[in-house]
Chains A and B, each alone.
Chain A
Amino acid sequence: MKPTAANDVFRALADPTRRAIFEELIRQGEQTVHALTRYADVSQPAVSKHLTVLKRAKLVQHRRDGRETHYRAQPAALAPVADWLRLYGAFWHERFDRLEALLERMEP
């Protein structure tokens, strides 16, 4: 995995509005900035700023069509997060096994 990508993805998804925009794109498919602005209920410049962060994290892709810009979700960009969860998941499972062993050794 690319660590830079992981950092960007974590940071992008840390914001609830960006998470909502990303989820909306997953649910609805391609959307215009106008449609996303109506959905997110924040100003269009704010939505554009959020989309820029999502774009940097490669969580969305855009294309221009006349005056409208269309955005589309790129779920594959979540891979670094999945990697993180897999690795830390394994880490904690192993630690829980050790904890169990320790409890057995401890005085009651």
Chain B
Amino acid sequence: MSNSAETTTRTLVIERVFSHPPEKLWRALTESPLMAQWLLKNDFVPVAGKKFQFRSEPMPQWDGVIDCEVMVVDPLKRLSYSWNALGLESVVLFTLTPAEGGTHLRMEHSGFRADQQQAYGGAKYGWQRFFDGLERLLDGGAA
């Protein structure tokens, strides 16, 4: 608990080395139909400033939409977009680095600030449903 709140409470980092070249990984990260196959359905275009949406399974109190905006497109190196779901705004950043026999991918999910625009009452239930839905979706998947 005495560690920096910056690193321990507000940023999620996942890293993995994939035995594929950066070019291939970049395609999977930035081509909409490929993104749909591993992440979520989307209307992403790799242009900074463009707004887009991810769509997950709708739930009773949530349409399953995650509102995003492209922030950084640095081909083969960096990709970043905002990730706004149910009144909580966060940022996703992918960093690619060539590694021995493949590519090192670092995913950083951070930021989290409440969206002032969103009706508070609506956001409450929705946020809960979002977590419930994720739990169902993962169903005991690797943590």
Contacts and interface: CB of A to CB of B under 8 A. Distances in A.
Interface of A: 1, 3-4, 6-7, 10-11, 13-14, 19, 22-23, 26-27, 75, 78, 81-103, 106, 108
A62 B59 CA distance: 40
A96 B20 CA distance: 14
B127 A6 contact: yes
Interface in B99-136: 105, 107, 109, 111-114, 120, 123-128, 131, 134-135
Nearest to A102: B38
A90 B143 contact: yes
Contact of B12 (A85, A100, A103): A85
A91 B92 CA distance: 13
Contacts of A6: 88, 127
Contacts of B34: 102, 106
Interface residues of B, number: 44
Contacts of B137: 91
Given A7-B123, A14-B112, A106-B28, A87 B134 contact: yes
A7 B126 CA distance: 12
Contacts of B109: 88, 92
Interface stretch (B2-10, B44-52, B73-81): B2-10
Interface in B58-108: 87-88, 105, 107
Contacts of B37: 98, 102
B88 A7 contact: yes
Nearest to B1: A75
B122 to A, nearest CB: 11
Contact of A26 (B1, B39, B141): B1
